[in-house]
Structure 1
Amino acid sequence: QTVEMRGFRLCSSKRFVLILLQFSKESGGWFLSSTCSEGFAYDRRGRQCIDVDECRVIPDACRGDMRCVNQNGGYLCLPRGLYSQPYRPEVPALPEPYPDTGVGAGGYPDVSGGAGAYPESFVPGPPRSVEPSYPRVRGTAPCILGYTLAEDGTCNDIDECETNSHHCNPTQVCINTAGGYTCSCTEGYWLIGGQCHDIDECRYGYCQQLCANVAGSYSCSCNPGFVLNPDGRTCQDVDECEEEPCSHGCLNTYGSFMCNCDEGFELAADGTTCMDLDECSFSEFLCQNRCVNTPGSFTCICPPGYYVYEDGRSCEDYNECETGNNTCTVNQVCFNYQGGFTCLDPLQCPLPYVEVSDNQCMCAAENPQCRDKPFTILYRHMDLSSGRSVPADIFQMQATTRYPGAFYIFQIKSGNDGREFYMRQTSNVSATLVLTRPIKGPKVVVLDLEMVTVNNVINFRGSSIIRLTIYVSEHPF
C-alpha cells in the first residue's frame, strides 16, 4: 500500500513480523525462525529479525529535492528543508506482531520509498536527545499521515495547498497529491537551487526573427515586410505588390519590394512614385535644333523650312522648289537653299551688256562703251550654312577658253568687305574660293569673282566676272 503524505510519500506493505515459535525436541525449548517480513532481515548471531536500512541499500531511493529517512521496516522521503535536526528513528530490539493496520513495527508507518534524484540518509545523532521535527504517526492513529478522519469514519486526503500547510517557497507552485503535495514551477520557469527562475526563451532561438522575453513567457515579432504566422514563432514574407504601392511597376523581394519605372521616367525619392525624366536636360546635342520634353520621352522640333529626319533628331532641308510648295511665278526661277527658297526674276542685263543666255550677259568688244568693262558677266547662286567651320573651299572658278601665250589672274573684285573670303589659285587656269571666317545667317552675300586674261605677245588684257550670290542660312544645318 502506497500512501502520500505532506511533502513526502509513505510506501508501506501490509506486513507483520511472522514469528514462528517451534519447539525443539533436541533443546527441549522454543527458537525464533529465520523467516522475516518485508523490510527486515534475519540476524543469525542475534537470532532475530532486524530492520533493513533502505536508504543505504536502495540506489536513488528518493528523487527530486527529497531526503531519505530510514524507518523500522521501511523508509521515508521527506523535503530537505522540512527538518533542522538530524534524527534517526528508534529501532525496537525485537519486533512484535501487530494487527493489519497499515502501520509498521514500532508504531511507524510502513514506507516503501519515493521518487527523487538525491539519495541521502541522515547522520545519526544522539539517540532520543532531539525530538523529531517531522510528524510521527502512532500505531493507534486511524488514518495515515496526509489524511484526516471524516465523520463517516473514512480517511480523506488533506489538501496542503488549500490549507496553506505546505512548505513550497514563494517562487514555487504547490500541487496537491494523494496524501501529500508537490512543489513545482509554472510554465516558463525552471527550478535552480530551490528557486523558480524565468526561462529566457529568446536565448534558445524560440523566435525566427525578433524575440522579447517576458516573465514566464516570450513574445515573437517580425521585421518590416514580414507577418507572424499562426504558430506565433515563424515569419512569412508579405507580398507588398498586391497592394499596388508603386505608380508603375512593382517587384516583390524577400521582406520588401522594389518599384521600377517605365522608360523615360525615374524613381522619386520616396521610392514608389515615378517622375518624368527630362531627357532634354541631358545634352544640348540631343536634338539638332530644339528638344521638347514629353511625358516619358522627348520630341525634336525643326525650324520652318526643315523636317525631322528618320533618326528623329536631325533636321533636313525641305526643298520647296521640288515639292512645289513655293510662291514663285511661272516667269521666275525657284532657288532652294538651306531652310528656305527664293524666287529669281528673269535676267536683265545692264547696258551696254546684252543677254546671251539665261544667266550670262556680254559686252561686245567693238562697242566703245565696253572697252574698260568685263567681257562677260556670269550669274551663279549657292547656299551656305550659318557658322560653317573654316577654312572651307566653297566655290571653284576655271577658264573655259585658253589663248596661246596667255596667263590668268583670279581675284575677288567686290563684295568681300568683311574679309571672309579669299581666292587660292590652284593652277594657271583655275582657282578656288575659300571661306576663311564663319558667317552667321540669315544673310545674302554677293561676290564678283574676276578672272583677268593677260597676253603680252599681242599686248592684250581682258576680264570676265562671275557674280556669285551666296544665301547664308539662319541655322547651322
Structure 2
Amino acid sequence: MYMFLNITAVLLVHITISSLTANAFRNSADECCQAGRLQAEHNKTCTMLTHALPGDSHTNATNYCPYLSHICCLSSLRHYFCEEGLNTALRLLPCNETKLQNKDTYKICCRCCELGVQAGRHFEDCEPVPVLDEKCGEQFTNCCKKSKSLNCHAGFEMGDQGRCRDINECLLSPCPDTMKCENTPGSYQCIEGCESGYVWSLKQGECRDIDECALNKHNCTYGQRCENMPGSYRCIRERNCGTGYQVDPNTQTCMDIDECDQGIDECRQVIAIFWPGYICKNVPGTYRCLPQNCTTGEKFNAFFGRCERVQCQPGFNSSSFGKCIDINECAQKPSPCKPGERCDNTVGSYRCVQTFSCASGLEMKDLKCLDIDECSIGNHTCPAPATCKNTYGSFYCECPAGFVFKYGVCVDDDECSRSNTICPTNSFCRNTPGSYACDCTAGYKMIAERAFCDDIDECQISPDTCEQKCVNVQGSYYCLCKEGYRLNNDKRTCRDLDECSMIKSLCQYHCVNTQGSYKCICPTGFSLERGRQCQDIDECTLGTHSCRSQDACVNILGGYRCYHVTCPDGYEKAGNTRCQLSTRWCQEHINDKDLRCTIRKPVKHVYSFISLPAKMRTPIEIFRIRNSQLQSNQHAEFDLRLITAVDPYTKLSETSLENFQLKAYPPHNSHLLVVKELSAFQEIELQIEMKIYTNNALNSVSIMKILIYVSQYDLHP
C-alpha cells in the first residue's frame, strides 16, 4: 500500500458568505493578508484558504478572510515573478521558455526589461515607448539606463544577439583524472567516478546504487518483474510457461521439459496396459508414444507390442518391411546351373535348362525338344490321393484342396503360415486339417463367417463396469473419474481429491475440502472474490461504519478504526486529519518566551493512516513525501521517530525503529520503507519531522503522524 502526501497542498472548501461587522473585518485585515503573503512565499502558488476571522463567534457571519488572503497572495506572487523576470533580463540571459508559457507576470516583466536592455546596448533613446503601458514603460526605461554597465556574470560569456551564454568549463578538463566533470549554469562540479550501476551522491559523499527498476532502465519483458540489486538488477518471471515447459532459473526463459528423459511419460505406464512395446519421443511442450523399431527380417506386432521374426518358405527372403520376396537364384555368383545350362528363375526356386540338348522331361524329335507327358504314360511318382498334372518338361503332383505336396506325399496346408492377411484385422488364424479358422482377439467378436471382427462395447454390456465414467476403445475400455476425483488402483472406482492439501495456497485465507471440489473461506470483514481471493470490505467508503462526523474513519484489513485527532495547543483543526498553526494564537503569545511562535515551531501536524497485511516481503515502500513546489535554493531534511508500537490485546510489541528506514531523495523528497518484517496484529505510531531550508537557513517545520495498523490475518498472495 502506498500513500502520497503533497506537503504544499491546501484544502479548498466551499465558503458560505453572510454578514460581518465592519470593525471585525478591519481589525483582522492585516492578519488575513499576512497569511496570504506567507503562502505565496512558501508555496509559490495561491489557493483559497479556509481561515476564518479571528474571534468570529457568529456562525452566520460572512467570512472575508479567505478572499483577502487570496488577494494578498496573488499580489505577492505577481511581485515575485516580476522581480524574477527583471533579474533574468538584467543578467543578459534569455527569458525562461517554461515560465514564458505559464507565468504571465514573469513574461511581461522579462520582455519589457529585455526590450529596454536591447535598446540601451544599441545606443537607442531610453525614453518610454508611447504604445507601452505605464508599468512596462517604466521597466523599459530603467533597464535601458542600466544596460550600459551590464556584463556577463562569472561562468558566462557573450553570445549571439547580445545575450550571455553558459561556458562549458568541462571542455577544459578541470577535474582530476579520478573524477568526472559535470557542467552547471555559470560553473561546474567534479563528481567522484562510480562503477557501473552506481552514481555519486554529493550529500552522502559516496557511490549510491542506481535503482534501475524504479527508473525504468531495465530490459525485463512482459510477464517478468524487475528486482533491484546492488549495482544491477534481475528479471524474475511471474507468469507460468505453460504445460510442458519450465522456467530456466538463470535466464528466466521458458525451456522444454523432456518428459522421456525425466521418466514422467505414460508410454510405459497407462498406454502399456493396452498397447505394450511403445517408446517415448520428446517433442516441444509434450511427448509422443511410438512403436519400437524392428531390425531387418522382423515386423512389429502391434497386438503383442514386440518385434517378431518373419518366417519365409525356402526360396524366399524377408524384406525390411517384413514381407517374403522370391530369391532370384540365377543372379547369384557363381550360377547354380552347370556349364552349358541356362538358369531360369522360378517362384521359390529355379530351373536349369540345357542349351544344346533336351532337358529331362523332353525328348528330341526332328531336332526339336518335345514334352514327355509323364502322367499319361504313368511315368510319375504321385501317390494317392495326389493326381499327376503334366507340365512342359516335367509334371507335378496336385493334392486336394487344403493340402500341399511335400516330401513326396500330400500333407495338410497350413494356410495360417503362408500369409498374415488371410484373416481380418484384430483376429488370428487357427489351422485345421484341410482348412483354417479365424478367431477374434480379446475385446472383439466375429461378424459373419470370417468377414470382420467388430469391437465389443464393454461400457454398454454392464453399467457397473466403471464407477463414474466408462470410455470404450477398440478392443478394450478404460475408466475415468469426474473432476475433483482420482481413479483408484483397481482402475474402476474413484476417490475424492483433497485439493486443499494437494495445492499450496489454493485459497488466499482458508480452504475447506468438499466432495469432488473445495471452497474458500475469508475472515470477517472480507468478501470472497473470484472464488479464492479475499477482498477487504472498505466500511469507510461504503458508509457502514459507526464513526462520528468529527472522527476520521480508517479502513483496515478486516475492519475499521475511528480515530479522533486532538490538536495541540496553538493549533486549529483543518478537516479530520490536519492541525494548522493558529495565526491568532501566535499573535496572542508573541511576547511569551516559552509559547511564542518561532521558526522552529511546526506549522502543521498531518495525520496519515496505513493498513498492512500480517506478512509481507521486505524491504517495501509504504509512504512517500514529495515537495514538488520547492525552489532550487531550497532543500528538505527529515527525522523519523517511533512513538508507540503495541499489540491491542497483549499490550506488548517487539517492533523498534530498526524495522523502518526513511530513505531520502535529495533535495526535496523522502520515502518510508519497512525493512524488517512486522509482527501481526499491532498498532504503530511513527512521527516524521520535516524541516525546509531556504539558502541553508531554516524556513519551516512540519510534523507528519503515520499510524500503521498491522492486520492479524495472514493472506496468501
Give the TM-score normalised by structure 1.
0.49
Question: By percentage of residues, which structure has more strand?
Answer: 1
Structure exhibiting the larger radius of gyration computed from Cα positions: 1
Between Structure 1 and Structure 2, the one with more helix by share is: 2
Q: TM-score normalised to the size of structure 2?
A: 0.35
